[in-house]
């Protein structure tokens, strides 16, 4: 494969429920399949040398879904904390979370913080899971943190350094499977120069072939950053 490997890819994992419905399966089976796909994509990215991945797992708006669905997704996250993320830890991958932790169950939050801490020295890549995340809310929260210091000036640097993704490169690519062509409050600040790839495939069916094709197409696109 050509060399211009993206430093960071953001992924909106969309289409889980439609995938399940078309197969006559339950909604939660769709999310289970989505979670498996996340794990595969982390492996592919690692093998191809993409160091940073940001997954949109649960948006601020997703709180409006049924209590059953919300609690199933939270359970997936909780299981991942005790099992899958432990595996990533051994692969020297750092785990981070973005989103409004205050809305999450306290026990889950504590576990998330523990995993973030335990993996903070890992340096062979970062996986960010956006949970209870909204891009606008992230910016508002960053601005509030800046103005807590009365003498602070509001600058791009000051806001950027108070975002949940601080230290992670802005996404070179944002992939949205599932057929919709919008960002839906994902990485509002960070996406200004991202290359977008909207594909019809539902997330659980996303293939390695499609992933490699996106990276190849990206490496051939000319990015001018406004110049």
Residues labelled as active-site residues: 14, 62
SS (H, E, C) 57-123: EEEHHHHHCCHHHHHHHHHHHHHHHHCHHHHHHHCCCEEEEECCHHHCCHHHHHHHHHHHHHCCCCC
Binding site residues, ligand FPP, CB under 6 A: 13-18, 31, 34-35, 38, 55, 57-58, 62, 73, 76-77, 80, 129, 178
Shortest Å, Cβ 75 to ligand FPP: 10
Shortest Å, Cβ 218 to ligand FPP: 23
Are 52 and 6 contacting, i.e. CB atoms less than 8 angstroms apart?
no
Shortest Å, Cβ 155 to ligand FPP: 32
Beta sheet of 94-98, edge-to-edge order: 94-98, 126-133, 52-59, 8-12, 173-176, 195-198
How would you label 80-108 residue by residue, b for 16+ Cβ within 10 Å and e otherwise? bbeebbeebeeeebbbbbbbbbeebeeeb
Shortest Å, Cβ 6 to ligand FPP: 20
């Amino acid at each position: 494969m050509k060399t211009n490997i993206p430093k960071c890819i953001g992924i909106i994992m969309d289409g889980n429920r439609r995938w399940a419905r078309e197969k006559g399966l339950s909604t939660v089976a769709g999310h289970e399949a989505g979670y498996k796909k996340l794990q595969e994509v982390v492996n592919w990215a690692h093998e191809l040398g993409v160091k940073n991945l940001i997954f949109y797992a649960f948006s601020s708006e997703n709180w409006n879904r049924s209590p059953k669905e919300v609690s199933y997704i939270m359970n997936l996250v909780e299981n991942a904390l005790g099992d899958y993320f432990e595996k990533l830890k051994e692969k020297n991958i750092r785990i981070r979370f973005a989103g409004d932790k205050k809305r999450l169950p306290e026990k889950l939050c504590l576990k998330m913080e523990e995993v973030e801490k335990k993996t903070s020295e890992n340096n062979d890549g970062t996986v960010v899971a956006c949970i209870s995340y909204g891009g606008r809310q992230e910016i508002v929260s960053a601005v509030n943190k800046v103005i807590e210091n009365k003498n602070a000036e509001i600058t791009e640097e000051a806001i950027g350094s108070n975002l949940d993704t601080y230290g992670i490169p802005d996404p070179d690519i944002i992939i949205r499977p599932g057929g919709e062509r919008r960002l839906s409050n994902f990485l509002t600040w960070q996406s200004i120069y991202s290359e977008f790839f909207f594909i019809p495939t539902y997330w659980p069916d996303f293939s390695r072939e499609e992933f490699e094709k996106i990276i190849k197409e990206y490496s051939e696109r000319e990015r001018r950053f406004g110049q």
